[in-house]
Amino acid sequence: MHLFLQSKGLQNIEKWLNIDSAKAIARIEHSTVIYQQDDMCKLSLSDNSVNQFVSMFGLEYGDFAQTIPHLYRCLRLGGRFHFILHHQDSIVSKQSQVTINVIEKVLASNLLNNLTQFVNIGELKAHLLLGLNQTLQSVEGYALDDVKIIGKGIYNIIQSSKDLTSKMDMLLSLKKDMLWQVERLQQQLAGAQQVKLLSTFLHDNGFNEFYMTPVSYENEILCWSLTGIKVK
């Protein structure tokens, strides 16, 4: 919606409904823009009530067997959909896999494990800096940025004015954040893999006019572009 406002404004739009399964934050106050918490797998929208569906990197996180029938049910005759979807071979998916590998490598090492053995901040600092240096030397060049991002988080904790116990708590929190990031990226990769099944679900649920093409930039695939129309 923000991108649309920047390029098109809201001319000739009766209502723009922002839907998210999380509680959506109203970042833009406008009489035409509405925020609604809803589930795309069981949309509460009325039949034949939507002129256009738009989604960026969202549809592939749902169950197509549940979402596609709702898209068809809610679209009016002649209604269109415009989706940007993760591509399994995109630069985004490749980088996500690199990030997963780096985080799993760090979590499997001694860098953030068994930290209770250290009885003072100096020992902890030496251990963390040595571990980060070893990790940097053990990865390929394309993975260095991910290690540096993790290193920055650890270095900020080292430099904080907290006591040893607080630093341990902060490192534990960082470790939990890394585990959460791996889970999120794995969901993204799984969603990208699921996209190749989308054509079948669209056909099976009444959509016969749609176009799915890869979007590229400088010879790198960025995503899928999917557009279509309800004709019957």
CB 77 within 8 Å of CB 231: yes
CA diameter of the chain: 71
Q: Which amino acid is at 147?
A: V
pTM: 0.87
Q: Which of 111, 117, 100, 108 is closest to 158 using CA atoms?
A: 111
Q: Given this model, what pLDDT does residue 168 score? A: 93
- The SS3 assignment for 214 reads strand
Task: List pLDDT tens digits, range 157-193.
Answer: 999 878 999 999 999 999 999 999 999 999 999 999 9
Q: Give the domain ranges of the chain.
A: 2-89+193-229, 91-189
Spatial separation of the C-alpha atoms in residues 117 and 158, rounded to whole Å: 16
Spatial separation of the C-alpha atoms in residues 97 and 94, rounded to whole Å: 5
Spatial separation of the C-alpha atoms in residues 63 and 67, rounded to whole Å: 6
> For domain 2-89+193-229, is the CATH number 3.40.190.10?
no
DSSP states along 33-87: EEEEE--GGG--PPTT-EEEEEEES-GGGS-HHHHHHHHHHHEEEEEEEEEEE--
Q: Given this model, what pLDDT does residue 7 score? A: 72
Task: List pLDDT tens digits, range 39-63.
Answer: 999 999 999 999 999 999 999 999 9
Q: Which of 12-26, 119-133, 171-185, 197-211 has the lowest mean pLDDT?
A: 12-26
Q: Which of 8-12, 44-48, 108-112, 178-182 has the lowest mean pLDDT?
A: 8-12
More confident residue, 160 or 77: 77
